[in-house]
Amino acid sequence: EPWVPKEKEPVWMITDGGGFHQLYWENGNPLDEFRLSVGNIHRTREDAELYKQKLIERMGKDFDKNYYRVGIDLALGKDCSVNS
């Protein structure tokens, strides 16, 4: 079964600017749940760094320009269609 952080557990993520940020998990938070669903919630900074390296290898070094911004907008219920 996949790991899910406990309420208020410290976790790491990659920011939409490509940096690293530690936060405290909030059950029911749509942004946290989105990040977890795409694999961007990590137990340690080192795990987040490895995840970023894998993204760069798969998507190129500019992966962070729009990838997470669109996902965050979707998690918040914003319309991300091309014609919006």
What count of other Cβ atoms lies within 10 Å of the Cβ of residue 18? Answer: 16
**Nearest of 3, 6, 82 to residue 39 by alpha carbon:** 3
Positions of the chain with pLDDT lower than 50, given as ranges = 80-84
**DSSP one-letter code for 65:** G
pLDDT of residue 63: 64
Between the two ends of the chain, the Cα-to-Cα distance in Å is: 38
pLDDT of residue 12: 97
pTM for the whole structure: 0.71
pLDDT of residue 49: 92
Q: Dihedrals φ, ψ of 72, to 5°?
A: -65, -45
pLDDT of residue 16: 75
